[in-house]
Structure 1
Amino acid sequence: MTSHTQHGRVQHTARSVAEHAAAVADLLQQFGAADRTETLPLSQALGRGLVHGFLAPLSLPPFANSQMDGYAVRSADIPDGGTELRIMPPVPAGSSPQPLAPGTAAPIMTGAMIPAGADAVVPIEKAKPDHFLPEGDGAIVTLPATARGTYVRVAGSDIAAGERALAAGTCLGPAQLGLLAALGMPDVEVYKAVTVLLVTTGDEVVEPGRPLPPGKIYDSNGTLLEAAMKQAGLAVRRTGISTDNPAALQAMLRTEGQGADLIVTTGGVSKGAYEVVRQAMADQPVDFLHVAMQPGGPQGLGTFDGVPFLGFPGNPVSCLVSFEMFLRPALSELLGTPARRLPLRARLDLGEAGGKLTSPGYKHQVRRGNLRPDGTVKLEGGESSHLMHALAGSNVLVHVPAGVTELADGDEVEVWML
């Protein structure tokens, strides 16, 4: 593509999706700075990105323990046909048991420490009697032969002390926070949440719940993007809808943007006569360009009064696709959160009539679809960027990369789960 334009001017050569994704990540690089971290208790760290990888300070489990309720035994004490063993005092979970004497069996509960000398556990269902006996001298239990290690969780079988526990940049979900707790860590250093100012623009846009005059539409972009951003861990600040007055938009951004880390607008970035965002950014280091993507081609990128700025198109599907293709991956790369969309492969189901999926060869097309349990994906709606009902009925984004002009029924495609 051509080099960057002067501020406020539109580039005429389309930038590739990969190039624009890299440019967005570069713009937001400061979000991963060392001064943008904080230490939080585990209960407040859900969905945050881990700053530093770390090694396990202890083994999990920290000691050999029983996987079952049963009897801890020395496997060598029991011949192939089984035998009678004298019963030792029981071993409840959390206790420190005495060593197991030869020719004895110790009742043991799930999770309890394996006594020294024991090397296997016989489940209570296989014992005779198949219930625990009251404590007392001379109590005997008959147990079958069992192999060494049976139903024993070995110390360090999950993770050994000194092994890598989590890598830097890991998104902390329930499982990761559970691991930190199991390793005895009460808090964790994470990246600070990014605060974004989200602005919808357009004289034609009306807040939901108000009367809808002729020629007007309700604002879906604000709700759509706010929900996507919150789901991705962003702290979202909404403004009222901006009119198509550039000076008013500039004033709104300066007033409402105090303390924001990022400004995102929707609409006003194309080549029309009333592109308010483009006009409001005329004196700012912002480039307006076209990305070889459908939908979501028109994009804005730069800074407003030093604050990183992204200008998304105004059609609802376009703005969500822009978020998924550019902002979400950049945050994942820099902060570890949100978790990346993992690519899956699926086979196109174009219906009984078959037919073709066509795409402009120079663009990366993103369609909406439903991924089914059998691994097929059915497209929802057409390629147009206003089809909110089709988007609401979809569970995946379907990718048709640049260079592919036609796909047939049964062809394999990449999909991202929504």
Structure 2
Amino acid sequence: MTAAPRAASRPPLKPLDDALAELLAQARPLEGTDEVDTFGADGRVLAVDAVSPLRVPPHDNSAMDGYAVRRADVADAGAALAAGLPVSQRIAAGSAAAPLAPGTAARIFTGAPMPPGADAVCMQEDCEALDGGARVRIQAVPQPGQWVRAAGEDIEHGQTVLAAGTRLGPAALGLAASIGLARLRVARRPRVALFSTGDELVMPGDVPPERMPPGAIYNSNRFFLRAMLLRLGCEATDFGIVPDRRDATEQALREAAAGHDLVLTSGGVSVGEEDHVKPAVAALGRLDLWQVALKPGKPFAHGRIGGHTHFMGLPGNPVSSFITFALLVRPFLLRLQGVRDVVPPVVAARAHFDWPRADRRREFLRVRRDAAGGLALFPHQGSGVLTSTVWGDGVVDNPPGHTIAHGDTVRFIPFADLLA
């Protein structure tokens, strides 16, 4: 009796760091740029260095309301100044200043240019106005340069203030405006086609809950994936829900690949008989990566359609889809836009829970910070429990084969960084 032939063994699961490195190696920055109004550039990625054509501040100016003086005139604030100094001029922000005559003071306001010859500002709380403001008595001897903001102390002429690859936020937009940049050259937005697979999926609003057929579920993935794409500055085209048929899947992939940089799918990348995405991608192009040593989110796939358009297939379970997007799709899309630092920072935190079940895969446990300054664990870590991602404010990055005891130091990644 001959033994039955052994099934071909599957390749080992790809470690998450290796999978991410492979993805980023293929994430060539997109060709083409846009010029946009600085007011509307929030979230975009700078395509060229922003170089300052001036100094900021452009001139020495006062950091306080008070009086500009020559320090030599007030080296002794005692009896010699009992009568006070004559106030020779009044300088407001935006006005010009005349040279300060020796033996006088200038009334000055925050942001106003320092008069030539003055080398310190005495804030008005340390001064006493006399004769209706015609004279001022200095009550505290200033230090050299006191309350003076030197020209160029923030930005020098020719300085690169924002490097290409910077993802612009409110502070960066203010910085660009401070050097006079009304428009910015930014990376082109990635064009992403999105669709879900699954005969069980129903769109909210199409069928009321009381009429849902057996086995049907509402399509939640489509909503959070589109929202995360828009947050990353992408142009997202929604191709809806594709039936669980090989021909329909190939047609959807072919249509979605036209005019898009990435086709992103949810569901259909596992090994079931109704999972058609993986073989369809292989038929239309190639599949470079499948299955990552990640929990939740093992059935993640990456490849190409037609040799040019990137493909990424996410698991159908909502938490798996959410986590794989955050860990793999987000850094890939940022790198397409030229962002260099795409890995979120990790924070050391104290576990206020026990996790005695070590897994062979790298786990991402949904947690939130508690009142005692540690991390509390959501009680149900299943890949279909989307409430864990709303209840939590981050994940614990737990290495393979690792248990956690209450009080252990763990690696915490806040959602604020993971989804930014």
State TM-score, norm by structure 1: 0.89
Counterpart mapping for 1:30-49 below 5 A: 32-33=29-30, 35-49=31-45
Residue 351 of structure 2 aligns to a residue whose secondary structure is: strand
The answer to whether the 8 A contact 2:45-2:338 is kept is: yes
The answer as to whether partners of 2:394 and 2:414 remain within 8 angstroms in 1 is yes
Task: Find the counterpart in structure 1 of residue 237 from structure 2.
Answer: 237
CA distance in 2, matches of 1:184, 1:125: 35
Q: Is the alpha carbon distance of 1:261 and 1:181 closer, same or farther for their aligned partners in structure 2, counting shifts above 3 Å?
A: same
User: 1:74-96 CA deviation, whole Å, 9 max, x = no partner?
Assistant: 11211433521001121111112
CA distance in 2, matches of 1:221, 1:10: 32
The offset of 1:38, in angstroms, is 2.1
Q: Is the 8 A contact 1:196 1:264 kept in 2?
A: yes
Aligned with 2:155 (options 156, 159, 180): 159
Deviations 1:326-348 (A, max 9, x none): 11122334425596522212111
Output aligned runs, 1:49-64, within 5 Å.
49-64=45-60
2:91 is paired with a residue whose SS is coil
Instruction: Sort the Cα spacing of 1:375 and 1:341 in 2 relative to 1 into closer, same or farther, 3 A.
Output: farther
Shift of 1:153: 0.7
1:131-146 to structure 2, matched below 5 A, reads 133=132, 139-144=134-139, 145-146=141-142
Find the aligned partners of 2:313 and 2:40 in 1 and give their Cα distance.
31
Of 362, 385, 388, which aligns to 1:387? Answer: 385
1:191 and 2:218 aligned: no
Partner of 1:356: 355
* CA–CA distance in structure 1, aligned partners of residues 58 and 182 of structure 2: 18
Equivalent residue for 2:368, pick from 367, 370, 380: 370
Residue 315 of structure 1 deviates from its aligned partner by 0.5
Query: Once the two structures are aligned, what percentage of the paired residues are identical?
Result: 36
Partner of 1:399: 397
| Conserved 8 A contact 1:367-1:382 | no
Three-state SS of the structure 2 residue aligned to 1:141 is strand
Match of 1:343 in 2: 346
| Contact 1:52/1:167, CA 8 A, preserved across alignment | yes
User: Any conservation in 1 of the 2:69–2:121 contact (CA below 8 Å)?
Assistant: yes
Q: 2:418 — aligned with what?
A: none
Deviation at 1:373, TM superposition (A): 6.4
Are 2:333 and 1:331 equivalent residues in the alignment? Answer: yes
In structure 2, how many angstroms separate the alpha carbons of the residues matched to 1:269 and 1:387?
20
* Mean Cα deviation higher: 194-203 or 161-170: 161-170
Return 119-128 or 339-348, whichever deviates more. Answer: 339-348
CA–CA distance in 1 between the matches of 2:338 and 2:64? 38
1:249-288 correspondence runs (5 A): 249-284=249-284, 285-287=286-288
Q: Deviations over 1:159-199 (max 9, x none)?
A: 22233322221111111111111111222221111111111
> What amino acid is aligned across from residue 248 of structure 1 in structure 2?
A
Amino acid at match of 1:416: I
- Paired with 1:181 and 1:125, the residues of 2 have a C-alpha distance of 33
Number of aligned positions between the proteins: 396
Contact 2:290/2:301 (<8 A) preserved: yes
Q: 1:103 to 1:301 in 2, by over 3 A?
A: same
Residue of structure 2 in register with 1:315 after alignment: 317
In structure 1, what is the Cα distance between the partners aligned to 2:267 and 2:387?
20
Rounded to whole Å, the distance in 2 between the matches of 1:303 and 1:53 is 32
Amino acid aligned to 1:349 = H
State how far apart, in whole Å, the 2-side matches of 1:287 and 1:220 are: 28
Distance 1:81 1:383 in 2: 70
Aligned residues of 2:85 and 2:104 also touching (Cα < 8 A): yes
CA contact (8 A) 1:12 1:289 kept: no
Residue identity opposite 2:292 in structure 1: V
Distance in 2 (CA, whole Å) between partners of 1:357 and 1:123 is: 62
- 2: CA distance, partners of 1:154 / 1:133: 31
Between the aligned partners of 1:209 and 1:177, the Cα distance in structure 2 is 39
1:206 aligns with 2:202: yes
Most deviating of 83-92 and 243-252 = 243-252
Alignment CA distance shift 1:68-1:340 (3 Å): farther
* Distance in 2 separating the partners of 1:36 and 1:398: 38
> What is the CA–CA distance in structure 2 between the aligned matches of 1:372 and 1:50, rounded to whole Å?
37
Question: What is the alpha-carbon distance in structure 2 between the residues aligned to residue 390 and residue 234 of structure 1?
Answer: 26
Residue segments in structure 1 that go unaligned for 5+ positions in a row = 1-8
> What's the TM-score once normalised by structure 2's chain length?
0.88
Offset from partner CA, 1:269-315 (integer Å, 9 cap, x none):
11111102124224121246221111111122111233110011100
The residue type equivalent to 2:409 in the other structure is E
